[in-house]
Chain A
Amino acid sequence: MSADSHAAVPELLVIEAGHTERHYWRDLWRYRELFYFLAWRDILVRYKQTAIGIAWAVLRPVLTMAVFTVVFGKLGKFPSEGVPYPILVYAAMLPWQFFASALADASASLVGNANLISKVYFPRLIVPASAVITSFVDFVIAGAILVVLMAWYGFWPDWRVLALPFFVLLAFAAAMGAGLWLTALNVKYRDFRFVVPFIVQFGLYVSPVGFSSAVVPEPWRLAYALNPMVGVIEGFRWSLLGGRGALSAPMLALSVVVVAAVLGSGIRYFRKTERSFADVI
């Protein structure tokens, strides 16, 4: 191999202390297949040696839905706005379950892949992002159940379902943003191993999963939307249940702003700390 056999001069890489990578996003693109491979590995491995395999992806949200339907719908007699209560709950359970498992998996992902971090270079962002993608696959599988459920009750969405991809994207961004924060913090402070399950458990009750946001008094609803998952979950309901639910434009706008802020700051914090991951992990 001689230098002139290359059409272009090989790129110059400068490594310095505290020097932010200029090529970061290009590297991310170059390693795009690694997203796929890590997610693929996690999916392959996740259900190995389990008796019912991928059915777990379905079972978890379905059982939770059943419990919530009984507790909130039957015992608590929360309003259902003319929608079968299981569908009301399941439409919310989908994004919530995605968010919760993405958060849990992402925050544990870097520590779980410590051997990679300390032995190979690649943009570290790929690891938590792959964890989120893995959860997304479960989300898609669980989504098929919603279709079955809707067919069972004969309840079909209208044109608003076209907006669903936007809310999926919003859920993705929320999970990614919060996931990046927790991932980076968890590398340095293992305290967050205990914080994450708490957030997930607590979040289930402060987010409108088992009930509609309509039960929140009107003056408080905007403040309620500071929880970014409120916008996501009510958005899912709005687009799947034909405009029903408590979504309002200001709520949605607020959620989008909060999600964007969490995602933006999450990426910045992650990038700031990732250079020392190998030393700390």
Chain B
Amino acid sequence: MSDAAISVEDLWKGYVLGRPDAAQGLTFREALMRRTGSLFRSAGNALRRRTSRGDRDREEFWALRELSLEVRHGEVLGIIGRNGAGKSTLLKVLSRITEPTRGRIRIRGRVGSLLEVGTGFHPELTGRENIFLNGAILGMSRAEIRRKFDEIVAFAGVTRFLDTPVKRYSSGMYVRLAFAVAAHLEPEILVVDEVLAVGDAEFQKKCLGKMHDVASGGRTVLFVSHNLAAVAQLTQRSLILDAGRAAFLGPTDEAIRRYSEAHIGENAVDFDVSRTPRKGYGTGAARITRLRFERAMPVFDHAEDFAYVATIHALEDIPKLRFSMTIFALDNSPVGSCFGADDIALRAGQTADVRVSLPEGRLAPGKYYCGLSIGRGDYRTGHVDFDVVLDTLPFEVRPEEGAGGTVSCWVRSWGSIVLPEVRQGVLEVRP
């Protein structure tokens, strides 16, 4: 017997775009008409013409292509890749939520998958009831849940609210409870998608610790995350997925290095964000449609202001509008945030190009990206966002020239901000 817990051979998964009923490519009417078509010749003809036009419009999309992979028993494998690279699809196929289009997977052991925290939580039910419900949905038996019940409650820290409907929970409590249930799942093979990105920093640390226990407990784990630091901490081997293909499979250090380089490597300076899906919430009163850097390469000097031009379109009359943004380092840690003043006014239907610049950003040399919003108000007055665009405007800050012709050197572990030069005054000199 081979030692592989999971072996994937030449896996393909295709979707048909633009048509929800991808599997068969027929609407109910078409399906009906196909069968009765010969009876109603003329109607059938009209329809057949329409169907064939539909066929031409149809676009195939391969979420996974010729993927082969082996995961040994007890191994913790990281899976990294850009949005839409096929990570989630791979996990869905492995956990039997959707079936592959081609290829074969052999899995030895029970698979527990954690693609989302709080799947099946019902807002009307109490915390206690949801623990049992969610546990059962994740594949735990009632006896198992009862045994771990106290541990789950303690981990989530919601003891006092056990008999309160979860719709009255704060969002923090909600995700803590949801993660706590999921974290106590004990299958032989665990498949985890990006669930560490919940809760506050302290809870995230707790989650990471729990994942660490699971990973070092000898279980086979597949771990998908955008958080490269977490991947580095939990795994030895990683897979990079790129457009559905395995771009790299090997040691995590190497994978992260390659991925980090490739991630920024495109040097795009113009982004059409009019149709990118929004992950943050905005009221929709105005939208960001385009973002661009006014240069050929997205590279800034350390001493220079970080700046970009945004095209915004107002759908309603907006008397006050400001930009705000958060800059993230490549490992997804936020570097800092800033708000502009509420001094832009637009009438419904107007489109404006706005230059946004950050003076004295003091960013250390390295690679960054932004999350930005347009809205009204700031952290002092309270704020409303009209539109939020995350994971955009990747850029690099070039090291400044060193003194006297040397190359300056900034160590990553010093952080992402070069603080101002410290003042130092000698108070006393003793002999």
Please determine whether chains A and B interact with each other in the same assembly.
yes
* Interface membership of chain A positions 1-12, coded 1 if the CB is closer than 8 angstroms to chain B and 0 otherwise: 111000001111
Say yes or no: is B278 at the interface (Cβ < 8 Å to chain A). Answer: no
Residues of chain A within 8 A (CB-CB) of B20 are: 280
Say yes or no: is B124 at the interface (Cβ < 8 Å to chain A). Answer: yes
Residues of chain A within 8 A (CB-CB) of B116 are: 119
Given A2-B218, A13-B106, A120-B120, A33 and B99 touching (CB < 8 A)? no
Given A33-B142, A116-B119, A279-B15, A1 and B218 touching (CB < 8 A)? yes
Most buried by B among A3, A19, A36, A120: A120
Interface of B, secondary structure class, is loop
Asked whether, in the complex, the Cβ of B105 is within 8 Å of the Cβ of A34, the reply is no
Asked whether, in the complex, the Cβ of A15 is within 8 Å of the Cβ of B104, the reply is yes
Given A120-B137, A280-B23, A275 and B142 touching (CB < 8 A)? no
Given A1-B217, A15-B107, A37-B132, A31 and B100 touching (CB < 8 A)? no
Q: Categorize the interface residue count of chain A.
A: 35 or more
Asked whether, in the complex, the Cβ of A118 is within 8 Å of the Cβ of B97, the reply is yes
Most buried by B among A15, A18, A278: A15
Asked whether, in the complex, the Cβ of A115 is within 8 Å of the Cβ of B119, the reply is yes
Bound form: Cα–Cα A190–B84 in Å: 28
Nearest A residue to B74 via CB reads A1
14 A-B pairs besides A10-B109, A41-B122, A121-B97 with CB distance below 8 A are A11-B109, A14-B104, A17-B103, A33-B142, A37-B136, A37-B137, A40-B133, A113-B120, A120-B97, A122-B137, A188-B21, A275-B98, A279-B23, A280-B22
* Interface membership of chain B positions 1-32, coded 1 if the CB is closer than 8 angstroms to chain A and 0 otherwise: 10000000000000100001111100110010
Given A188-B28, A191-B28, A16 and B103 touching (CB < 8 A)? yes
Say yes or no: is B227 at the interface (Cβ < 8 Å to chain A). Answer: no
Asked whether, in the complex, the Cβ of B120 is within 8 Å of the Cβ of A276, the reply is no
Asked whether, in the complex, the Cβ of A121 is within 8 Å of the Cβ of B95, the reply is yes
Q: Which chain B residues in 85-139 approach chain A with CB under 8 Å?
A: 92-111, 113, 115-116, 119-120, 122, 124-125, 129, 132-133, 136-139
Bound form: Cα–Cα A33–B134 in Å: 12
A-B contact pairs, 26 of them (CB 8 A): A9-B108, A12-B108, A14-B104, A15-B93, A17-B101, A19-B99, A33-B141, A36-B136, A37-B136, A41-B122, A44-B129, A115-B119, A115-B120, A118-B97, A119-B97, A120-B138, A121-B113, A122-B137, A188-B21, A191-B28, A275-B99, A276-B22, A276-B23, A279-B22, A280-B21, A280-B22
Asked whether, in the complex, the Cβ of A37 is within 8 Å of the Cβ of B108, the reply is no
Bound form: Cα–Cα A22–B425 in Å: 78
Say yes or no: is B188 at the interface (Cβ < 8 Å to chain A). Answer: yes
Asked whether, in the complex, the Cβ of B106 is within 8 Å of the Cβ of A31, the reply is no
Say yes or no: is A198 at the interface (Cβ < 8 Å to chain B). Answer: no
Say yes or no: is B219 at the interface (Cβ < 8 Å to chain A). Answer: yes
Asked whether, in the complex, the Cβ of A120 is within 8 Å of the Cβ of B113, the reply is yes
Residues of chain A within 8 A (CB-CB) of B27 are: 189
Asked whether, in the complex, the Cβ of A122 is within 8 Å of the Cβ of B139, the reply is yes
Say yes or no: is B73 at the interface (Cβ < 8 Å to chain A). Answer: yes
Residues of chain B within 8 A (CB-CB) of A44 are: 124-125, 129
- CB proximity of B205 to chain A, nearest CB, Å: 25
Say yes or no: is A51 at the interface (Cβ < 8 Å to chain B). Answer: no
Bound form: Cα–Cα A115–B118 in Å: 10
Residues of chain B within 8 A (CB-CB) of A12 are: 106-108
Residues of chain A within 8 A (CB-CB) of B23 are: 188, 273, 276, 279-280
Bound form: Cα–Cα A189–B20 in Å: 10
Nearest A residue to B120 via CB reads A116
* Interface membership of chain B positions 313-327, coded 1 if the CB is closer than 8 angstroms to chain A and 0 otherwise: 000000000000000
Asked whether, in the complex, the Cβ of A45 is within 8 Å of the Cβ of B125, the reply is yes
Asked whether, in the complex, the Cβ of A31 is within 8 Å of the Cβ of B22, the reply is no
- CB proximity of A27 to chain B, nearest CB, Å: 9
Bound form: Cα–Cα A14–B4 in Å: 13
- CB proximity of B187 to chain A, nearest CB, Å: 10
Residues of chain B within 8 A (CB-CB) of A188 are: 21, 23-24, 28
Bound form: Cα–Cα A10–B4 in Å: 12
Bound form: Cα–Cα A54–B100 in Å: 44
Nearest B residue to A191 via CB reads B28
- CB proximity of B75 to chain A, nearest CB, Å: 13
Bound form: Cα–Cα A11–B115 in Å: 23
Asked whether, in the complex, the Cβ of A33 is within 8 Å of the Cβ of B136, the reply is yes
Bound form: Cα–Cα A116–B115 in Å: 11
Instruction: Select which of A3, A40, A276 is within 8 A of B99 by beta carbon.
Output: A276
Nearest A residue to B130 via CB reads A41
Bound form: Cα–Cα A19–B100 in Å: 10
Enumerate the 3 nearest inter-chain pairs by beta-carbon distance, A residue then B residue, closest first.
A189-B28, A1-B218, A276-B23
Instruction: Select which of A10, A14, A41, A278 is within 8 A of B110 by beta carbon.
Output: A10
Bound form: Cα–Cα A17–B96 in Å: 11
